[in-house]
Every structure is written in structure tokens, then in C-alpha cells.
């Protein structure tokens, strides 16, 4: 009986760490993956990390591109507010959706091990087997919400009819099957996490179709002064992913002045050597500049800034004035 009372007392004194997340199926899957990792690492029940679903402005705006409505922060500002108010201890985000600068008091504590960073081409059943963007029929209708994907598609195939397609993964797949579009692009990481990888007609190699900065990585944010949350998260974050995404985000920070410029970046870590490839383009794909730099893992952020500055220096004055 004394042991039972002691166990119950420990449970009562144990601090819950609510996890804040968007409500899309992918966001919830990522938050649940984080809760499971924390429970395993800390040897605590998963219910100690309950999910708190927070509706964001980005989820509510479906009729226009986010770049026209305020950019990446539309997916995070309500979640940030809940965290700063103390309603949640930990928040989980797709790294590619995080703004360059977090609100004062919040920090990125790290990233879970990175999933497949590639994009996937998905085509409607009416098109039959398609294994590459080059295989799409002349004038095919391709939907995407990403400025980067739109620009790279137009760069590769100026004949394609590229237009806005918003919504979560399942919504986009449904619109494709309804025949509203002939094809779309989605992240392989999201398809894998949702058990939907069989929808991918062809994964697109990073050399041919450069991913978004942070694509495939789950970012974990905590309050800077929350030592308990920081200590909890420290046991589940992946050092290699942190180094790679640090280089990519430093590259983005140099270039991303308006969220209206298509930017891609991807880092690989080979031993202690990091190789960073970056690209910046006009939205219509008519002009792009790409570069690559190699450095040491300890200088990941400096490498990212250097590549960003190199590409920016070679761009015409009006490139960022879209």
C-alpha cells in the first residue's frame, strides 16, 4: 500500500508537458511522433505529453497564396502565443514552415531525425504512368501552394499550367483525383509519415529539384527559460539534422526578405564535411541562380551565410522587389 501511495504521489507531482500543434493530419502525426519519442526517452507515459490543437491563420486562409497574406508566420503566430502564455510547454513544427526569426523568448531546441527531404510528383490516374516532370503532357495542369515548386516547375517546363492548390495532404490528393489538376507535388516526408507514400508517382532527386530549406525535418520549439522542457527535448533531438538545417536556415536568412522569392536549399553531412546547395529564382522561373559550397560541420551557419551572400551578390537589383 505504501508503494502504491508513493507511486500515486509521484504521478501527481509529475509535470505534464503539453505539446502545441496545428490540427492538420500531418501536423498531428508529427506532434504524436514527438510525444512518443519523449515518452520513450524519459520513460514516462505518453499521456504526460498531451497534444493541444491550435488553429492558425494559415489554416484558415485557403483562397490565396500565403505569400500574399503574410508568409510563414501565419502557420506559427497563434502557436507561439499559446507557448509564450504557458498553455503549452513544447511546440512542434515542420521546419520548412518556421519563420527565420522566432518571437523573443522562444528557441528551436532541435530537430527529430530528418525524413526523406525530396519532393514527390503525384499524377492523377487519368494520365497513366508518369515517372518524371518531363513525362507530363504538354500544357498539363499542375497545382501547388509553394512558390519554390511553382518556379522550379516553370523553369523546367514553361508550357505547364501551374496554379495555386492549397489544403492539407489529403485535400490536395482528393482535388487531384477529382480531376481539378493533372498533377501536384508534395513532400515525400509528409507522405511517409501519413502512410501515403504509394501515391508518389516519382520521387524527385534533390539535384534535379532542390527541396525547401528544412524540408523533412521536425522542429521542436521551447521557451528559452523553461529548463525542464529544454532538458526533456535534449534527449530526442538529432545532432546531424541540427547541423544540416542550421546551414540551410542561415542561407535562407540572408536571402529571404519578403517570403515572395522562391528559395531552395539542401545540406548533406558527410563525416565532418557539410555540402550546401542553394537556389534562388524568380516566381515565373525565367531566371535562377544556384550555387554550392563545402565546409566543416562546425561552421554550418557561417557556410550558409556565405552561400546566401554569394548568390545575392550576383542577382539583379530588382530580383527581390516582386
Note the pTM of the prediction, 2 decimals.
0.89
Taking only the tens of pLDDT, the chain with its 322 residues reads 444 433 443 454 568 999 999 999 999 999 999 999 999 999 999 999 999 999 876 555 554 455 544 455 666 889 999 999 999 999 999 999 898 899 999 999 999 999 999 999 999 877 778 889 999 999 999 999 999 999 999 999 999 999 999 888 999 999 999 999 999 999 999 999 999 999 999 999 999 999 999 999 999 999 999 999 999 999 999 999 999 999 999 999 999 755 678 999 999 999 999 999 999 999 999 999 999 999 999 999 999 999 999 999 978 877 765 4
Residues facing residue 121 across a β-bridge: 185, 202
Cα distance between residue 279 and residue 169, in whole Å: 25
Instruction: Of 174, 119, 188, 176, give the one whose Cα is nearest residue 143.
Output: 176
DSSP codes of every residue in 17-32: --EEE-SSHHHHHHHH
Same domain, 90 and 233: yes
Q: Report pLDDT for 316.
A: 81
Instruction: Tell me, rounded to whole angstroms, the distance of Cα 49 from its chain centroid.
Output: 22
Residue 290 within a domain: yes
Same domain, 67 and 158: no
Largest CA distance in the chain: 76
- β 183-187/288-296 pair status: unpaired
Residue 210 within a domain: no
- What CATH number does the domain containing 247 carry? 3.30.160.40
Same domain, 128 and 10: no
Cα distance between residue 51 and residue 34, in whole Å: 10
Residue 166 within a domain: yes
Count of domains for the chain: 3
Same domain, 2 and 107: yes
281 touches 153 (CB < 8 A):
no
Same domain, 136 and 262: no
Same domain, 146 and 59: no
Cell, residue 28: 498531428
b/e code 80-98 from CB counts within 10 Å (16+ = b): bebbeeeebbbbbbbbbbb
Same domain, 193 and 254: no
Same domain, 224 and 248: no
Same domain, 48 and 106: yes
Residue 5 within a domain: yes
Residue 9, judged by CB atoms within 10 A of its CB (0-12, 13-18, 19+), counts as: exposed
Instruction: Of 56, 61, 90, give the one whose Cα is nearest residue 76.
Output: 56
Residue 209 within a domain: no
Contacts of 208 (CB under 8 A, 6+ apart): none
Same domain, 100 and 161: no
Same domain, 245 and 233: no
Residue 211 within a domain: no
255 touches 291 (CB < 8 A):
no
> Residue 287 is part of which domain span?
239-322
257 touches 321 (CB < 8 A):
no
Cα distance between residue 277 and residue 291, in whole Å: 6
Q: Cell 523573443 sits at which residue?
A: 104
- What CATH number does the domain containing 176 carry? 3.40.190.10
The set of catalytic residues is 97
**DSSP code at position 76:** T
Same domain, 17 and 106: yes
Q: Cell 547541423 sits at which residue?
A: 243
Amino acid at each position: 500500500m505504501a508503494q502504491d501511495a508513493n507511486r500515486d504521489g509521484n504521478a501527481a507531482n509529475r509535470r505534464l508537458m503539453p505539446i502545441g500543434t496545428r490540427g492538420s493530419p500531418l501536423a498531428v502525426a508529427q506532434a504524436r511522433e514527438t510525444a512518443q519519442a519523449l515518452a520513450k526517452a524519459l520513460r514516462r507515459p505518453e499521456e504526460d505529453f498531451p497534444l493541444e490543437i491550435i488553429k492558425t491563420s494559415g489554416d484558415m486562409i485557403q483562397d490565396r497564396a500565403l505569400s500574399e497574406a503574410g508568409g510563414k508566420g501565419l502557420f506559427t503566430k497563434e502557436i507561439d502565443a499559446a507557448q509564450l502564455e504557458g498553455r503549452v510547454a513544447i511546440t512542434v513544427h515542420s521546419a520548412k514552415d518556421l519563420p527565420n526569426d522566432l518571437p523573443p523568448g522562444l528557441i528551436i531546441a532541435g530537430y527529430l531525425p530528418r525524413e526523406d527531404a525530396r519532393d514527390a510528383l503525384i499524377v492523377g490516374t487519368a494520365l497513366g504512368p508518369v515517372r518524371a516532370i518531363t513525362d507530363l503532357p504538354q500544357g498539363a495542369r499542375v497545382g501547388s501552394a509553394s512558390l519554390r515548386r511553382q518556379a522550379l516547375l516553370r523553369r523546367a517546363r514553361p508550357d505547364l499550367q501551374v496554379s495555386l492548390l492549397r489544403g492539407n495532404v489529403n485535400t490536395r490528393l482528393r482535388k487531384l483525383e477529382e480531376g481539378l489538376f493533372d498533377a501536384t507535388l508534395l513532400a515525400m516526408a509528409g507522405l511517409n509519415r501519413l502512410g501515403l507514400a504509394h501515391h508518389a508517382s516519382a520521387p524527385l532527386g534533390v539535384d534535379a529539384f532542390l527541396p525547401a530549406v528544412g524540408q523533412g525535418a521536425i522542429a521542436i520549439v521551447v521557451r528559452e527559460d523553461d529548463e525542464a522542457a529544454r532538458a526533456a527535448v535534449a534527449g530526442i533531438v538529432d545532432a546531424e539534422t541540427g547541423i544540416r538545417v542550421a546551414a540551410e536556415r542561415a542561407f535562407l536568412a540572408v536571402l529571404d526578405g519578403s517570403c515572395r522569392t522562391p528559395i531552395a536549399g539542401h545540406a548533406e553531412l558527410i563525416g565532418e564535411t557539410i555540402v550546401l546547395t542553394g537556389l534562388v529564382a524568380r516566381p515565373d522561373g525565367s531566371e535562377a541562380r544556384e550555387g554550392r559550397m563545402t565546409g566543416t560541420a562546425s561552421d554550418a551557419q557561417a557556410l550558409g551565410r556565405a552561400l546566401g551572400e554569394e548568390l545575392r551578390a550576383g542577382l539583379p537589383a530588382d530580383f527581390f522587389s516582386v
